[in-house]
């Protein structure tokens, strides 16, 4: 091959190489959009997965650490088989008594160590009432005691409806309102716990009530469909949208069994398809966003911390006599004579806001729901065990106390 021919051949090869190297491959516009959507979806998935892992890590930290806030001085990870058998009845007053006696803790019980009333900075009672725990009966009882014990009861306040969390400015507005009521006042509102110290204000005396978690959500389901309640709401908001007749007639058993979103209580969820107040612990956990994931061990532990450190009494109408006895003895300024007044007005107090037409709910349906309330039940039993300890500390040598 001649020199010119060889040069021409090399030039052609170089041209072909450049053509392949620099050629532009056209992509359809739709393919580009598809790739962009795929990239965004992957990013969102990774974000959600990372967020979930972070929550699980927090929960594992709690599980791996000994709990400071077990009502009976137990840590869930350190129970021997012998102790386990003792705990079979631990959620009853007698079971708590037997456990404390058998472990030698009964003799060391003292009202001074169990009474947070002395930690309050001002004699204002703050009842940040949970929904559907019998708080209307407590309000009526406080109303009956108001004149007898010489305090002022306020259950109107600055609140604008019940919200799960308040921004700091709204929290401060409520805290300032309560503070301005002055000593010798009792304030009641559906609101999550507020830290008065965050706003440079003295701490009041906190109280609350708890109820069986599943019975609470069932009660709320039928309360939301109560004709009187809806008529009252419509009277306040004439332009509000009314629910359909189908919604009002919806059967709770079928709602749960069919997987209706309204009756699905899914752990770790933030958003509810319908407001249902399923988070009893939220009223104690407080305003932190970490309190929102439903049935989260982390939120439950925060709620236990609040109860142990901040609340004078957390009672339950399921233990009426115990609750009234503890309130009388631990917060006498407001509850002196509470038992006598309660039993004099027992019929009206017990029927307060009660739904006597609540339809039957099957036991298997309740069992289905309970599986999703594991940690809420842990909190509920914690509060009751603490209440029993406060009761037994009053006179544990002569159990039971009448």
Tokens of 327: 């309130």
Q: Is 94 a catalytic residue?
A: no
Tokens of 73: 């001085």
Residue 295 to residue 318: CA distance in whole angstroms: 22
> 313: closest CA among 299, 294, 334, 295?
334
- One of 49, 94, 190, 396 is an active-site residue; which one? 190
Exposure string over 278-294, b if 16+ CB within 10 A, otherwise e: bbbbbbbbbbeeebbbb
**What φ, ψ does residue 354 adopt, rounded to 5°?**
-85, 140
> 335: closest CA among 143, 134, 120?
143
Q: What is the 3-state secondary structure (H, E, C) of 158-213?
A: CCCCCCCCCCHHHHHHHHHHHHHHCCCEEEECCCCCCCHHHHCCCCCEEEEECCCH
Q: To which residue do tokens 């939220």 refer?
A: 282
Catalytic residues, by residue number, are 190
């Amino acid at each position: 091959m001649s020199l010119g021919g060889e040069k021409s051949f090399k030039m052609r090869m170089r041209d072909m190489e450049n053509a392949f190297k620099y050629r532009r491959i056209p992509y359809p516009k739709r393919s580009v959009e598809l790739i962009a959507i795929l990239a965004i979806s992957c990013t969102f998935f990774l974000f959600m997965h990372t967020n979930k892992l972070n929550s699980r890590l927090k929960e594992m930290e709690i599980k791996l650490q000994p709990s400071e806030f077990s009502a009976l001085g137990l840590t869930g990870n350190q129970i021997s088989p012998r102790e386990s058998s003792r705990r079979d009845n631990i959620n009853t007053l007698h079971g708590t008594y037997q456990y404390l006696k058998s472990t030698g803790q009964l003799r060391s019980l003292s009202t001074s160590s169990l009474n947070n009333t002395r930690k309050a900075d001002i004699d204002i009672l703050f009842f940040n009432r949970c929904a559907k725990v019998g708080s209307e009966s407590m309000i009526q009882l406080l109303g009956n005691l108001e004149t007898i014990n010489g305090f002022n009861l306020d259950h109107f306040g600055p609140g604008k409806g019940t919200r799960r969390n308040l921004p700091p400015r709204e929290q401060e507005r409520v805290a300032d309102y309560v503070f301005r009521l002055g000593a010798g006042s009792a304030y009641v509102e559906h609101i999550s716990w507020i830290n008065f110290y965050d706003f440079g204000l003295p701490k009041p005396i906190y109280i609350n009530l708890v109820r069986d978690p599943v019975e609470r959500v069932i009660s709320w389901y039928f309360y939301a469909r109560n004709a009187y309640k809806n008529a009252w709401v419509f009277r306040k908001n004439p332009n509000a949208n009314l629910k359909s007749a189908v919604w009002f007639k919806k059967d709770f058993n079928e709602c749960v069994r069919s997987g209706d979103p309204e009756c699905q209580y899914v752990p770790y969820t933030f958003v509810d398809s319908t407001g249902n107040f399923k988070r009893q612990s939220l009223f104690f956990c407080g305003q932190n966003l970490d309190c929102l994931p439903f049935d989260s061990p982390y939120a439950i532990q925060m709620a236990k911390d609040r109860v142990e450190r901040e609340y004078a009494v957390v009672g339950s109408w399921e233990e009426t006599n115990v609750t009234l006895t503890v309130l009388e003895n631990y917060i006498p300024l407001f509850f002196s004579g509470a038992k006598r007044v309660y039993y004099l007005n027992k019929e009206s107090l017990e029927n307060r806001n009660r739904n006597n037409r609540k339809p039957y709910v099957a036991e298997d349906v309740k069992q289905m729901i309970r599986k999703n309330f594991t940690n809420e039940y842990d909190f509920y039993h914690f509060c009751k065990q603490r209440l029993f300890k406060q009761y037994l500390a009053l006179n544990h040598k002569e159990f039971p106390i009448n």
